Amino acid sequence: MSRILKNYWKILPDFYWSSILLRVPLATLFITSGLSKLPYHAADGMALGMPALVWLLVIVSEIGSGVGLMIGGLTTLPRIRDNALLAGLGDMLTRFSGIVMCCVITGIIWTVLKPDNLWRFITTDYLHFSLWVGGLYFALRGNWAVRATQLNSN
């Protein structure tokens, strides 16, 4: 039994595209959301009660986190993940993009939605909650499959 558990990662098939199934829709949503705010007008942010600089930061963060999540996903491809430096940078970029996504969605929740009850928010606004959880997933996980492969090869 311990032998099976010890070689667990070697027994399972390598399906490194699985994280792409989550990355593509999440990144696409953030990129298109940021692009929909262009061209930049400070008045658009003021309508939501945000200063001009914060509104610009929201736009850059949405586009940047989506692009960063996709680039981080490209570093999970076999030839790229074999390079330890690129694999490590891709992992950091994925984690950073996830953190930025959580920050953007938290800002939306606090400034625009202003829920009075956490449980009601979770059960009724599943879109923003799901986006927040998706960002948290990549912030905590990063490119974990790449790291597990590197650890197993040593």
> Is there a domain that residue 127 lies in?
yes
> Is there a domain that residue 6 lies in?
no
Residue 53 above 70 pLDDT? Answer: yes
Residue 12 above 90 pLDDT? Answer: no
Specify the higher pLDDT residue, 154 or 58.
58
> Is there a domain that residue 1 lies in?
no
> Is there a domain that residue 2 lies in?
no
- Phi (first) and psi of residue 36, to 5 degrees: -70, -15
SS3 content of the chain, % helix, strand, coil (to 5): 80, 0, 20
> Is there a domain that residue 71 lies in?
yes
| pLDDT of amino acid 84 | 86
> Is there a domain that residue 59 lies in?
yes
* Tally of domains in the chain: 1
**Mean per-residue pLDDT over the chain, rounded:** 88
> Is there a domain that residue 10 lies in?
no
Task: State which residues form the domain around 94.
Answer: 19-153
Residue 100 above 80 pLDDT? Answer: yes
